[in-house]
Amino acid sequence: GAVVSQHPSWVICKSGTSVKIECRSLDFQATTMFWYRQFPKQSLMLMATSNEGSKATYEQGVEKDKFLINHASLTLSTLTVTSAHPEDSSFYICSANTGAETGELFFGEGSRLTVL
């Protein structure tokens, strides 16, 4: 199946700093990528839909100035958590689909962010 790679897998940062997470589709072009956040023992929460060459579409309640998304190419989307605070600590996961009819999503490995 299609491969989505996410980097870094783990990141620890100080409060007030910014962290960038990359999501790459390795063997297919992804016009659309999705960014999720997952708290322990909870399901995935869609944060935003990232569209190549245009602005991301954010879900209600997600601060677009806090979580900057850039989808500069058909194989790369980035999520930057700006001025991170401890409450931003979470598991962030990206996904993409190949455009096939099934709409199957392929997920990155996830990035665990800990803000001290």
Is 114 a binding residue for another protein by CB under 8 A? The answer is no
* Count of residues engaged in binding another protein, rule: CB under 8 A: 21
3-state secondary structure of 86: helix
Judge whether 30 and 13 are in contact, CB under 8 Å. Answer: no
Q: How far is the CB of 39 from another protein (least distance, A)?
A: 11
Residues 22-61, one symbol each (x = binds another protein by CB under 8 A, - = not), give ------------x------xxxxxx---------------
Among positions 81-110, residues that touch another protein (CB under 8 A) are 91, 93, 102-110
> What is the 3 state secondary structure string of 5-71?
EEECCEEEECCCCCEEEEEEECCCCCCEEEEEEECCCCCCEEEEEEECCCCCEECCCCCCCCEEEEE
Give the integer Cα–Cα distance in Å for 24 and 42.
25
Q: Which is nearer to another protein, 45 or 68 (CB)?
A: 45
Binding positions for another protein, rule: CB under 8 A: 1, 6, 34, 41-46, 91, 93, 102-110, 112
